[in-house]
Structure 1
Amino acid sequence: MFNWFKTALLMAGIMALFGAIGAYIGGAQGMLIALVLGGAMNFFSYWFSDKLVLKMYNAREVDEYSAPQFYDMVRELARKAGLPMPRVYIIDEAQPNAFATGRNPEHAAVAATTGILRLLSARELRGVMAHELSHVKNRDILISTISATMAGAISMLANFAMFFGSRDPDGRPTNPIAGILVMILAPLAATVIQMAISRAREYEADRGGAEISGDPGALADALEKINAYARNIPMASAEAHPETAQMMIMNPLSGGGLSNLFSTHPPAEERVARLRAMVRGD
Structure 2
Amino acid sequence: MIPSHWFRRVVLVLCLMGLGAVILWVTGLATDPVTRPVTQAAGSVTFLFVFYATAPLTARFLAPRPSQDIELQERLARIVATLPACPPVTLHDHADPQANSVGLLPRWSRIYLTTGLLNSMSDEGMRGVLAHESTHIREHHILATFLYASAFAVSSQLLADDNFFFAALLLFLGLRRYSEYRADTGAVAVVGQVTMLATLHELSWSYPSKAWHRWTSFANIYPTLPMRIRAIETGRKALL
Same fold (TM over 0.5): yes
Matches within 5 A, 1:60-209: 60-61=65-66, 67-77=73-83, 80=84, 83=85, 86-144=87-145, 146=146, 192=170, 194-209=172-187
- The question of whether the paired residues in 1 share the 8 Å contact of 2:101 and 2:112 is answered with yes
- The question of whether the paired residues in 1 share the 8 Å contact of 2:217 and 2:223 is answered with no
* Identity fraction in percent: 20
Correspondence for 1:157: none
2:217 is the counterpart of 1:260: yes
Q: Secondary structure at the match of 1:67?
A: helix
- Tell me, in whole angstroms, the C-alpha distance in 2 between the residues paired with 1:109 and 1:62: 15
Q: CA RMSD in A?
A: 4.0
Q: Give the deviation of 1:70 after TM superposition.
A: 0.8
Unpaired runs of at least 5, structure 2: 1-22, 154-161, 236-240
- Tell me, in whole angstroms, the C-alpha distance in 2 between the residues paired with 1:62 and 1:118: 13
- What letter matches 1:40 in structure 2? T
- Tell me, in whole angstroms, the C-alpha distance in 2 between the residues paired with 1:257 and 1:273: 13
**Structure 1's 69 and 149: CA in aligned 2 closer, same or farther, altered over 3 A?**
farther
Correspondence for 2:13: none
Match of 1:271 among 221, 225, 228: 228
Unpaired runs of at least 5, structure 1: 1-17, 155-181, 233-254
Paired positions, count: 194
Matches within 5 A, 1:19-98: 28=33, 31-45=37-51, 47-52=53-58, 54-55=59-60, 57-58=62-63, 60-61=65-66, 67-77=73-83, 80=84, 83=85, 86-98=87-99
- Tell me, in whole angstroms, the C-alpha distance in 2 between the residues paired with 1:190 and 1:48: 25
- Tell me, in whole angstroms, the C-alpha distance in 2 between the residues paired with 1:46 and 1:195: 18
- The question of whether the paired residues in 2 share the 8 Å contact of 1:45 and 1:149 is answered with no
**Structure 1's 277 and 60: CA in aligned 2 closer, same or farther, altered over 3 A?**
farther
- Tell me, in whole angstroms, the C-alpha distance in 1 between the residues paired with 2:54 and 2:149: 10
**Structure 1's 109 and 149: CA in aligned 2 closer, same or farther, altered over 3 A?**
farther
Deviations 1:98-127 (A, max 9, x none): 121212222220112222111111111111
Q: Give the deviation of 1:33 after TM superposition.
A: 4.0
TM-score w.r.t. the length of structure 2 is 0.63
Q: Give the deviation of 1:135 after TM superposition.
A: 1.4
2:199 is the counterpart of 1:222: yes
**Structure 1's 131 and 257: CA in aligned 2 closer, same or farther, altered over 3 A?**
closer
For CA contacts below 8 A with separation 6 or more, give which structure has more relative contact order. 1
Q: Give the deviation of 1:130 after TM superposition.
A: 0.9
- Tell me, in whole angstroms, the C-alpha distance in 1 between the residues paired with 2:106 and 2:81: 13
- What letter matches 1:269 in structure 2? P
- Tell me, in whole angstroms, the C-alpha distance in 2 between the residues paired with 1:148 and 1:61: 33
**Structure 1's 198 and 112: CA in aligned 2 closer, same or farther, altered over 3 A?**
same
Q: Give the deviation of 1:62 after TM superposition.
A: 6.3
**Structure 1's 148 and 220: CA in aligned 2 closer, same or farther, altered over 3 A?**
farther
Q: Which contiguous aligned blocks of 4+ residues in structure 1 show a shift greater than 4 angstroms?
A: 147-150, 188-193, 255-259
- Tell me, in whole angstroms, the C-alpha distance in 2 between the residues paired with 1:120 and 1:37: 42
- Tell me, in whole angstroms, the C-alpha distance in 2 between the residues paired with 1:76 and 1:115: 21
Q: Secondary structure at the match of 1:100?
A: strand
TM-score w.r.t. the length of structure 1 is 0.55
- The question of whether the paired residues in 2 share the 8 Å contact of 1:61 and 1:87 is answered with no
- What letter matches 1:227 in structure 2? S
Q: Give the deviation of 1:199 after TM superposition.
A: 0.5
- What letter matches 1:217 in structure 2? V
